[in-house]
Structure 1
Amino acid sequence: MNKDPQNPAHRRPPGVDDTTVEALGALSKALETTERARGALYEFHQLTGTADLTLDDAVRLLRKAGHDAYADRVEREILGRNVIPGHWTFQVVEAYNDTYYKPFQKLEEEARTALAEGREHVYEAEMKEERRTRHHPHHTAGPAS
């Protein structure tokens, strides 16, 4: 079914049924959600790193204020500490990428290639075509050529 006349890359390939398009749409949505989770993980990594670097200021100011015992404890107990046993945040990010994200991304691409000629967002393109108002200037099938 030719649902997106402006972009052949979003057209359903011949012989692909509704359930397959829906299944690939769900797989794509799950991967997109994983992308968001991965972004949150990178945010966790950067925020934790920033906090650890800010501890240098805390230690310096604690010493300046005469609180050497607390400065020593921050340096010894918190500064550079693992966030989970044996891991800094960069290692958590790497493990997530290698263990979960990359295999998921690869499988999603393989499924799209095998089942829909590698076409992305077929489900969404068909939804757009069904929901847009014909002849409305802000409901065009695609960008102006």
Structure 2
Amino acid sequence: MSTGNEAHNSGLTDVEVDALHEIDLGIEHLHRAHGHLVAFHHATGRGMDHLADAEARLRDAGHDDLANAIRDDFLPRGVIESTHPDDQGRWSYDILETYQDAFLDDIVAFGERASDDLADGQRHVKERAQERDWKRRAGGE
């Protein structure tokens, strides 16, 4: 049973290794969320392209009222409503950029700082210890 004070080959305690592991996992999940936002951005753009195509076809078919609704109400509109009366909302690229620049980058920098402060910049400390252990066991030791 771990007391949280056992030193690893890295010179870290179990508690420090676990904390760094949780930071690594948190950042990995946030990168996955970023990937979902990229997919959301691409799917939104593709959907809007289809609506733009529909606008032209509706206009060609003589349905200007429907074509105008797409042109005026949907194509310029953001995916998240804005609180500013002159703004039609935030577009998917804006959400993606904000997530990257104002959130993900800061968290990644924090993870690097934690790794630098505790483990001389080494990441995945827990996995490295597991790898060493499994390799040692495979050698029959």
Q: Which runs of 5+ in 2 are unaligned?
A: 1-7, 83-88
Among 11, 35, 45, which residue is 1:49 paired with?
A: 45
Instruction: Determine what percentage of the aligned residue pairs are the same residue.
Output: 33
Equivalents in 1 of 2:124, 2:9: separation in Å? Answer: 10
The one-letter code of the counterpart of 2:57 is L
The equivalences for 1:18-29 within 5 A come to: 18-29=14-25
Q: Which runs of 5+ in 1 are unaligned?
A: 1-10, 137-145
Among 90, 95, 98, which residue is 1:87 paired with?
A: 90
For 2:138, what is the secondary structure of its paired residue? coil
1:5-27 per-residue CA deviation (whole Å, 9 max, x = no partner) reads: xxxxxx942x2111111110111
Equivalents in 2 of 1:81, 1:129: separation in Å? Answer: 54
For 1:119, what is the secondary structure of its paired residue? coil
The count of residues paired between Structure 1 and Structure 2 equals 125
> After TM superposition, what 4+ stretches of structure 1 lie above 6 angstroms from structure 2?
none
TM-score scaled by length of structure 2: 0.79
Among 67, 70, 73, which residue is 2:69 paired with?
A: 73
Note if contact 1:16-1:116 (Cα within 8 Å) is conserved in structure 2: yes
Among 122, 125, 134, which residue is 1:119 paired with?
A: 122
Matched residue, 1:3: none
TM-score scaled by length of structure 1: 0.77
Post-superposition shift, 1:131?
A: 4.8
Equivalents in 1 of 2:17, 2:128: separation in Å? Answer: 11
Equivalents in 1 of 2:77, 2:130: separation in Å? Answer: 49
CA RMSD in angstroms, aligned pairs only = 2.0
Using CA pairs under 8 Å that are at least 6 residues apart, name the structure with larger relative contact order, 1 or 2.
Answer: 1
1:15-47 per-residue CA deviation (whole Å, 9 max, x = no partner) reads: 211111111011100000000001111111111
Equivalents in 2 of 1:71, 1:19: separation in Å? Answer: 61
1:62-86 per-residue CA deviation (whole Å, 9 max, x = no partner) reads: 1222222111111111012111123
The one-letter code of the counterpart of 1:45 is H
1:67-107 per-residue CA deviation (whole Å, 9 max, x = no partner) reads: 22111111111012111123111111121122211110000
Matched residue, 2:138: 134
Note if contact 1:31-1:104 (Cα within 8 Å) is conserved in structure 2: yes
Equivalents in 2 of 1:127, 1:62: separation in Å? Answer: 61
Q: In structure 2, do the counterparts of structure 1 residues 91 and 12 end up closer, same or farther at CA, with 3 Å as the change threshold?
A: farther
Equivalents in 1 of 2:56, 2:94: separation in Å? Answer: 28
